[in-house]
Amino acid sequence: MLDALIQGILLGGYYAILAAGLSLMFGVLRFINLAHGDLAILGAYLVLFGVERLGLSPWLAVLAVLPVMATLGWLLQGMLFARTMRGGFLLPLLTTFGLGAVLQNGMFGLFGSDAKSLGNSIGSLSWDSWQLPFDISLGKLPVITFVIAVIVLAGLQLLLSYTRLGRAIRATSADPEAAELVGVDAATVHRAAAAIAVALAGLAGAFLAMRAVIGPYSGPAQLIFAFEAVVIGGIGSLWGTLIGGIILGVSQSLGSLLSPQWFQLAGHTLFLGVLGARLYLNHAASRGGLRLNLKGAR
Amino acid sequence: MSLLSVENLVARHGLLTAVQSFSFAVEPGEVVAIVGANGAGKTTLFRAIAGVHAAASGVIRFAGVDVTALPPHKRVAAGIAMVPEGRRLFPDMTVSENLRIAGENGRRGDWSLATVLDALPQLRPLVGVPAGQLSGGQRQAVAIGRALMSNPSLLLLDEVSLGLSPIAVESLYETLAVLKASGETTMIVVEQDLDRALGFADRVICMLEGKTALEGSAAALTRPQIAAAYFGLGAEAGKVH
Amino acid sequence: MSVMPRFSVERWTRAGRVTIGVALLALALLALLPGFASGLVIDKLTTLFVYILLAAMWNLLAGYAGLVSVGQQVFFGLAAYFALRLVDLGMPPYLALCLGAGAAGLTAIPLSFFVLRLKGGEFAIAMWVVAEAVRVVVMLDPLVQGETGTSLIAMNSFDPDLRRNLTFWMALCATALILGLTYWLLRGRVGAAAQAIRDDEEASVSVGVKVMRVKQIIFVLAAVGCAFAGVIWLASAITFQPRTNFGVQWTVFMLFMALVGGLRTFEGPILGAVLFFLLQEFFGDFGAWYLAGVGALAVAFALYLPDGLWGAIRKRTGVELLPTGVRMTAGEQPQSTRPRVRSQRPAKDSA
């Protein structure tokens, strides 16, 4: 049970990396990228390509794939997403969903349906663990994933708080027009945010491939998990995605103790529950608030 | 050569033509006030000059260069800065961050964080405060400071006294008077308060339904003339020197 | 001296009346089709009806109510699952299919109270999560045997030709009824209210539109439509696999058909369904690359032709076969040659 709890927390690290990109896109561009999971899988396939065809070490391949994914994000935003953002919220959802279909089936066509994994390439890291007292074992890979997640989020936080780009990003997400009026090129900021988001997706995909098996159609499931983590942790909060990821990971981990289906079901139920609770709280607040006003008027 | 020259500008709001074949010019160092009732097209005009509102037709020339097709951030680089209606500060960013972002993305010049704080000393104790927590008068000061950080040669001020207490407005116009006195910043001011407008500006333009109803030097225009043009009464429209 | 023109409100155009006449004729012909067409044609038409239903329902949600659902497959699969369960209890297959669809449609009612309070993207993803959650729960049922799925074996008790024809007639009836119901609804107050909500929800509330009620009606109707599509599919394919019947690829297809055909028009989805059907016929064998192409085409339409094919045709020629709007005509004489004055329905079509 304790094992499951710890595994769940560490799983949260993976979800945090995956969800951070989604959250960034939504926060800065008000844009829900339904192809985010598929982009993560694409990143994983690129790393696999680097390892199997180019003979790179997995970590080197990951490092090499990051700028590739960032460039892809830059281009996608400039050529595709920016044009759909003017069409209300319908067009971006339709476009990214179509893009996801293209990616999934394209990857199937290129790489076939074989399930792949990076687990073979990282040697014993995929199952090695540290033995702690009280019969607890900490998997080395999950811990590394978690640590990197924290480093990545901290890095993002520092970027946003202290750099020129970070300020531009924050301004653009608060008020794109006012940002333009102070000289910020909103289009470039959007491209930069998309580049970071897609690079993060690729990183997450690589970690997924290290601990599990992936296939061309694995994207949508990951997207749902990422979205669940974002919503559970609170939309708009960077560290919220870590907390959301952890809560999701823990619930999934504990759920899997019951049965394999409960792994997924626990997350879905929690997500729907959190949504429901938020709706109820909003509803109650709007009614409660009114009562407060009346009281004050007397 | 005029600093800003607007020729036959047409700007639409959906099906409404807010600015109709509007032309005017501003000379370097001048202060022009634009007055008019709500809906006359003043803010749309400003937004079109700043670049956030697309011009349907017409030409906007700045320092001789046609900027009509330039996006807003490029116009900032050219030297136009606007203090928008409603201030539009970035609420979660501190005062210093609001100022810095404009400084980082604007032109090089005399205005820097230090000099802006010198000009607006009331902001000094507030540099670390998120802009969303400031009072109306404080926000207006930050908004003007932010526009100055871009080191503009043309400053557009849209309804800066809106929603402020009389004391705040007084303090505001004192700062603006200093700016005017330096002679380095050309200003166009949209102002609801006619007395202020006449007292501060060199020239006044009265807009009505997207067109110029009256134009003339502040010294020569009388209040009855402006009132008539403001409300579209009688045949007072025209140029008065 | 000028005479004050008298205005009258026209709901039907000549083209509209003609189209309805043609449609009824086609309906009669189709009903008689099993008498002289080959089994293959009947089968293919049944599939086409499924596509038409799905496209029309997705358009109803997204085009008219502004609700983008990435989870309509939940009703598609749930209806089939309920039907399987009912057959397992001994019910005759076709009755079970109809009741299964109805039951799945009914689940939309309680669901609507929850999901319809969500906005835009949240609604889309929440529907997807609901579909996934239901899929997992259905997989827990031993009848379904997890991923393996099961079949509607009871269908084998029918003669293959009879079964094919019965399924065809069921599909024809369901499609005609649901499309008819949809059209009737859209031309009525619900349709106008839905478009008002889509354009500006706050303004609609301020003029007294019961937003939640309108959205619910549309949501439940769309659910029923997708549910019937699901049972027709089951009847024709006989096998049931959670991954297939609850698969998100159905949303890809629905999205494609509605978008390419023309969102916000009644005729568009039908056109889109026909197009999709033809694409499947000719290119379906290319497997994954074909699906990638479908996705790419959808993206291209979203970027360059967001009004879809029918929307573009309508813009160019002004032809509206089945109008859902209202037009005013003005005339001094209430007689024959009335000058038609089209009043522009303020439709926010593109961007």
- Domain containing residue A199: CATH number: 1.10.3470
C-alpha distance from B193 to closest chain A C-alpha (Å)? 25
Interface check C111 vs A, CB under 8 A = no
- CA separation, residue A153 to residues A129, A158, A231, B70, B88 (Å): 24, 9, 17, 36, 29
* CA separation for the pair C141, C312 (Å, rounded): 47
* CA separation for the pair A176, A162 (Å, rounded): 20
Residues 107-166 of chain B with CB under 8 A from chain A are: 146-147, 149-150
Sole residue written with tokens 């689940």: C107
Determine the residue type at B203: R
Q: Which residue of B has its CA nearest to A174?
A: B90
Most confident of A228-232, B134-138, C48-52: C48-52
Q: Is residue C100 part of a domain?
A: yes
Task: Collect the ranges in chain C with pLDDT lower than 50.
Answer: 1, 332-351
Task: For residue range A130-175, list pLDDT tens digits in order.
Answer: 777 777 778 888 888 999 999 999 999 999 999 999 999 999 989 9
Domain boundaries, given as residue ranges, for chain B:
4-240
C346: left (phi over 0), alpha (psi -120 to 50) or beta: beta
* CA separation for the pair A98, C32 (Å, rounded): 39
* CA separation for the pair A128, A136 (Å, rounded): 13
Q: Which domain range does residue A143 map to?
A: 2-297
- Residues in C closer than 8 angstroms to A81, CB to CB, are none
- Do residues B3 and B153 lie in contact, with contact meaning Cβ atoms separated by under 8 Å? yes
Q: Is B7 exposed, middle or buried (0-12, 13-18, 19+ CB in 10 A)?
A: middle
Contact (CB<8Å) C252/A97? yes
Determine the residue type at C340: R
Contact (CB<8Å) B105/A182? yes
Interface check B63 vs A, CB under 8 A = no
B7 bridge partner residues: B59
Q: Is residue C311 part of a domain?
A: no
Q: Is residue C152 part of a domain?
A: yes
Contact (CB<8Å) C129/A90? no
B105: nearest CB among A170, A174, A183: A183
Contact (CB<8Å) B88/A170? no
Number of domains chain A is built from? 1
Over range B61-65, report the average pLDDT. Answer: 91
The per-residue DSSP string of A201-243 comes to HHHHHHHHHHHS-B-TT-HHHHHHHHHHHHHHH-TT-HHHHHH
pLDDT for res B235: 55
pTM: 0.85
Over range A243-249, report the average pLDDT. Answer: 94
Q: Is residue C232 part of a domain?
A: yes
Size of interface A-B (CB pairs under 8 A): 68
C-alpha distance from B155 to closest chain A C-alpha (Å)? 12
Q: What stretch of H or E contains B9?
A: strand B4-13
Q: Which domain range does residue C59 map to?
A: 39-248
Contact (CB<8Å) C350/A87? yes
Pairing of strands B203-208, B31-36: parallel
Contact (CB<8Å) A178/B50? no
Contact (CB<8Å) A183/B77? yes
Contact (CB<8Å) A182/B101? yes
Question: Does the pLDDT of residue B81 top 90, yes or no?
Answer: yes
Q: Which residue of A has its CA nearest to C134?
A: A265
Preferred mutation among C58, C64, C136 to probe A, highest tally of A CBs within 10 A? C136
A184: nearest CB among B73, B89, B91: B73
B62 bridge partner residues: B4, B65
pLDDT for res C346: 45
Nearest one of C287, C281, C305, B49 to A113, comparing CA atoms: C287
Q: What does R_g of chain C's alpha carbons equal in angstroms?
A: 21
Q: In terms of DSSP H, where are the helices of B106-193?
A: 113-119, 136-149, 166-182
* CA separation for the pair B216, B18 (Å, rounded): 22
Q: Which residue of B has its CA nearest to A172?
A: B90
C-alpha distance from B96 to closest chain A C-alpha (Å)? 11
- Do residues A137 and A130 lie in contact, with contact meaning Cβ atoms separated by under 8 Å? yes
- Residues in A closer than 8 angstroms to C66, CB to CB, are 90
Contact (CB<8Å) A182/B52? no
pLDDT for res A295: 37
Share of chain B above pLDDT 70, in %: 97
Q: Is residue C299 part of a domain?
A: no
B82: nearest CB among A175, A181, A184: A181
Contact (CB<8Å) A181/B93? no
* CA separation for the pair C250, C179 (Å, rounded): 19
C-alpha distance from A106 to closest chain C C-alpha (Å)? 6
C-alpha distance from C136 to closest chain A C-alpha (Å)? 6
Contact (CB<8Å) B73/A183? yes
Q: Which is more confident, A162 or A86?
A: A162
Nearest one of A125, A227, A118 to C132, comparing CA atoms: A227
Contact (CB<8Å) A182/B88? no
* CA separation for the pair A8, A19 (Å, rounded): 16
Q: Is residue C2 part of a domain?
A: no
Both tokens of A216, joined, read: 């061309």
Contact (CB<8Å) A184/B106? no
Preferred mutation among A164, A181, A189, A237 to probe B, highest tally of B CBs within 10 A? A181
Number of domains chain C is built from? 1
Contact (CB<8Å) B84/A178? yes
- CA separation, residue C267 to residues C183, C229, C263, C272, C278 (Å): 10, 18, 9, 9, 17
ipTM value: 0.88
Both tokens of B143, joined, read: 């908004």
The per-residue DSSP string of C194-243 comes to HHHHHH-HHHHHHTT--HHHHHHHHHHHHHHHHHHHHHHHHHHH-EE-HH
* 3-state SS assignment for residue B57: strand
A95: nearest CB among C124, C126, C303: C303
Nearest one of C127, C285, C290 to A104, comparing CA atoms: C290
B90: nearest CB among A164, A171, A183: A171
Interface check C255 vs A, CB under 8 A = yes
Question: Does the pLDDT of residue A99 top 90, yes or no?
Answer: yes
C-alpha distance from B14 to closest chain A C-alpha (Å)? 15
A227: nearest CB among C125, C137, C263: C125
Both tokens of A54, joined, read: 């180019």
- Do residues B19 and B9 lie in contact, with contact meaning Cβ atoms separated by under 8 Å? yes
The per-residue DSSP string of C44-71 comes to HHHHHHHHHHHHHHHHIIIIIT----S-
Start-to-end C-alpha separation, chain C: 45
A184: nearest CB among B50, B81, B101: B101
Contact (CB<8Å) B105/A170? no
Name chain B's partners: 3 or more CB pairs within 8 A: A
Question: Does the pLDDT of residue B234 top 80, yes or no?
Answer: no
- CA separation, residue A288 to residues A282, A295, B58, B112, B137 (Å): 10, 11, 53, 48, 33
List, in order, residues 6 or more apart from C339 with CB less than 8 Å away. Answer: C329, C330, C331
Contact (CB<8Å) B91/A181? no
Residues in chain A: 298
Contact (CB<8Å) C140/A261? yes
Both tokens of A151, joined, read: 């480093």
Q: What does R_g of chain B's alpha carbons equal in angstroms?
A: 17
* 3-state SS assignment for residue C151: strand
CATH dotted code for B4-240: 3.40.50.300
* 3-state SS assignment for residue A163: coil
- Do residues B100 and B125 lie in contact, with contact meaning Cβ atoms separated by under 8 Å? no
Contact (CB<8Å) B97/A183? no
Q: Which residue of A has its CA nearest to B87?
A: A178
- Residues in A closer than 8 angstroms to C118, CB to CB, are 275, 279
Size of interface A-C (CB pairs under 8 A): 127
Contact (CB<8Å) C124/A86? no
